[in-house]
Amino acid sequence: MAAPMSASMPIIIDKKVKKKLQRCRHTLRKLDNISLSNEQTNILCVFNGGLDTGVSKEEIEEAFCEDVHAEEIIMLPQRPYAFICYLSTEDAVQAANKLNGTKLSNGNNIYISFLKTIPSCLVPSTDLPPGLILLKDFISEDYETQLISAIEWANCDNPTQTTLKHRKTKHYGYEFLYSTNNVDPSTPLPCGIPPVCDKLISKVMQHGLINHCPDQLTVNQYLPGQGIPPHVDTPSAFEDGIVSLSLGSMVVMEFHHPDGHHRSVVLPQRSLLVMTGESRYIWSHGITPRKSDIVPLPDSSMTLVKRETRISFTFRKLATENSTHTSETLIPAKTASENGKLDPSSLEVPETRAANLEVTHVHQVYNEIADHFSRTRHSPWPKVKEFLQSLQDGALVADIGCGNGKYFGVNPSIYQIGSDRSENLINICKERNFEVFVGDVMAIPLRSNTFDACICIAVIHHLSTKQRRLQAVKELVRLLCPGGKALIQVWAMEQEIDNQESKYIRKKSKPSQKDNLSVLLNVNNTSQCDSDLPEIADIKLKEDIGNTKPNRPQQIVKLPILITMNLLKNL
């Protein structure tokens, strides 16, 4: 990302720092194919100040925001350097002169140079997801002013207006219910879509961008620093073709495909975005909460743009009972098992659909309810507490799916690091000074053969297919060092054991005689056990799942019943 050049300012670099920078130059080119700039810019590369060197974002902020405010701090996983973006080259030079060769609060010596470009993964893409349409300058400035003026945000008593944690919203035609991520077609709002929008809708229809005239409008107001979690608009609630108009400010919207592909798309002020087909049903979209965005310039360089107050008009058409959803052709339907019956634990759902379901019904939900969830989740489960307290002093433990961090501190003699898919839950953990990061149980960014123990509590049942649950278990086992242990707990669909109701329905009069049953799993993932399983099962893995290491000690995975009793046999 390049900044406009100003009058050159002297850079003070001694011989020792120059020698270190030569070594850093090689590392930067090797990892991200980026070269240091011989010219001064508004982007700094801070070597020895990255996540891979044990430096936190808070430590970088403490150093680089003391005299001059840094607009953006970018720290990538598995990188020994960080990127610091300033609004002006002068500010960047001032920071470089002050901090080059100095130590951070954790003792790391840092070495600073300038960059013209940033890693390609951070650059907004010109390649749009399939089915996504972006039209710049779709309306005039005068019409933009009319639309913004038509929204009366001051009317807080209006039941169609909601103040969410990250934004204000107003609904017209039908209210979108965030509690269910749906609408109720039987209860239309008194006010339909405002007449001031008629000209816009007419132009959209004339261009053939959508096939149905919208009957629902949601208006969102985003202040600088606000955003919206990644989500897919409920497929069954609306027709194909969702229209969004950006007013007041530009923004970068993030699109994620379930297979890991990612696109950052710049939405200019007064641009129209239309999500159809795959971009509507498969790709999730969201806005990262921050106060500035990195955007491309006409000369292919990059610059930093501060966000202003942005208002989006999102138009949708409610689906009817007779609607034929494009999603049905994009996502194959469920199939019956060989005996003609559906086994919910073993349905062969395509990977794209499975991940899409989890984005809509798990990730988005937990981000929305994080505060309430945290307030009502404070007592450690007894078996988890017992497991953690049984570990040796100094044990290194990974809490995958740590939620609000309620298991941190249960045993003060161990070292814990946690991850969770919910950014808002992770923020709650950070407020409590826990060592945590945002991560996915399907691909945990931690070193293999490192941890003495892992816990994964009430997580795996959220994964929608057997294959994805198996992959999660493999990831947990991968983290363990020889002799390591993992405790996995999930909610069971069945609440009966040997035709007896579980303790969640009634109190047990006597403990089950099968509470200590062990299930032996073969390397080929088949089980030598009966279909009836105990409420708590100790599963001894002969070897790493999918990885044969004959001399490696057995690993123990404590596993209270998975989604269904029969599912465990196949794991």
| The two three-digit tokens of residue 146, written as one number | 């009319």
| pLDDT score of 162 | 58
Confidence of residue 494 (pLDDT cuts 50, 70, 90): low
Residues 295-324: what's their mean pLDDT? 80
What pLDDT sits at residue 331?
Answer: 53
CB 566 within 8 A of CB 526: no
pLDDT of residue 223 exceeding 90, the answer is yes
Q: Please give the pLDDT value at position 76.
A: 77
What's the rounded mean pLDDT across residues 384-390?
Answer: 94
- Show the DSSP H helices in 404-490 as ranges: 423-431, 466-479
- 306's CB contacts (< 8 A; 6+ apart) are 71, 87, 224, 291, 292
CB 530 within 8 A of CB 521: no
Angle at the Cα of 303 from the Cα atoms of 302 and 309, rounded to 5 degrees: 130
pLDDT band at 3 (very low <50, low <70, confident <90, very high): very low
Domains in the chain (CATH in brackets) are 15-120 (3.30.70.330), 132-329 (2.60.120.1520), 370-570 (3.40.50.150)
Contact 429, 402 (CB under 8 A): yes
Tell me what percent of the residues of the chain surpass a pLDDT of 70.
72
Sign of CA dihedral 254, 256, 260, 265: negative
Closest by alpha carbon to 60, among 120, 116, 102, 118? 102
Residue 68's pLDDT is what? 82
pLDDT for residue 67 is more than 90 = no
- Residue 60 clears pLDDT 80, i.e. is over it: yes
Mean pLDDT of 493-504: 61
More confident residue, 77 or 185: 185
What's the rounded mean pLDDT across residues 159-174? Answer: 74
Contact residues for 407 (Cβ-Cβ < 8 A; gap 6+): 380, 384, 385, 388, 399, 416, 455, 457
* Model confidence pTM above 0.85: no
Paired with 555 in beta bridges are 541
* Identity at 303, one-letter amino acid code: T
**SS3 at position 154:** coil
Res 468 pLDDT > 90: no
Question: Residue 538: exposed, middle, or buried by beta-carbon count in 10 A (0-12, 13-18, 19+)?
Answer: middle
- 496 burial level (CB within 10 Å; 0-12, 13-18, 19+): exposed
> How far apart (Å, rounded) are the C-alpha atoms in residues 551 and 382?
34
Q: What is the pLDDT of residues 341-373, one digit of tens each?
A: 444 444 455 566 667 777 777 877 887 887 877
Q: What is the rounded CA–CA span in Å between residue 568 and residue 571?
A: 5
